[in-house]
Amino acid sequence: MLKIAQRTTLGMLLLLVMPVAVWLSGWQWQPGESSAFLRVLFWMTETVTSPWGILTSIILSTWVLWCLRFRLKPAILLIIFMNGAILVGQYTKSFIKEQVQEPRPYVVWLEKSHGIDEAAFYQQNRQGRSQLVSTLLANDTQLPQWLKNHWAFETGFAFPSGHTMFAASWALLVIGLLWPRRHIVTVVVLFAWATMVMGSRLLLGMHWPRDLVVATLISWLLVTVATWLAQRFCGPLTVPREEQQEIAQRDDAL
């Protein structure tokens, strides 16, 4: 358990570098003109947005199973533990959002620039909020249409970030489960992806830095427990003898 906690804690600290730095800098989101980089970040956020998040989970689950090469029964348990952590995180996120009811940055901007009442906005159902956002921004020529559509689709509360919780959980699962077998490239790719997803939530006007920080902390707790359960019931995460030579060759190639 201690080694698992050490790995996931290191991963958590790495993921927190960006949002904590932005938070401490005092940076405030403002809508700007569309750019190629912003569009790339939108594609990153779409890998987590429903329904594409389901496909992302299937792909990542399959890859982790292939890397660990567990037998059928342990593999099924591993799928349950991994995706259970993701689902518990999403339900936890939804519960906290309803309790805190923090407005999204773009909603605060709409209040200042278009005169909407924030409280009245959130008193409407999701369909009503979506229609209001679309109506208010219909004649706005500075904002790209894909961003306006995204805002109209994502009209819930901000705190904490569900997208961050999804991406951070997968990144932490990978470092918790695959680091002992030195799947370094997978760990690096997943952490880069998770960081880009987190950054996209800030630059698209969907979240405040604190939303990302708290989401990452919740993910760390859930993933640490899930990884411990995987090690206890699915099999050792350490390297079996038959894979030692393969890992040595992989390390030499790096």
Contact 153, 213 (CB under 8 A): no
Going by C-beta distance under 8 Å and a sequence separation of 6 or more, which residues neighbour residue 10? 175
- Annotated active-site residue 114? The verdict is no
CA 159, 160, 166, 167 dihedral sign is positive
Nearest to 216 by CA among 92, 102, 42, 108: 92
To the nearest 5 percent, what fractions of the chain are helix, strand and coil?
75, 0, 25
CA nearest to 94, candidates 166, 9, 172, 197: 166
Cis-peptide, bond into residue 51, ω within 30° of zero: yes
How many residues are given for the chain?
254
Verify whether residue 183 is a known catalytic residue.
no
Q: Is the dihedral of CA 150, 154, 160, 161 positive or negative?
A: negative
Catalogue the active-site residues.
Answer: 163, 207
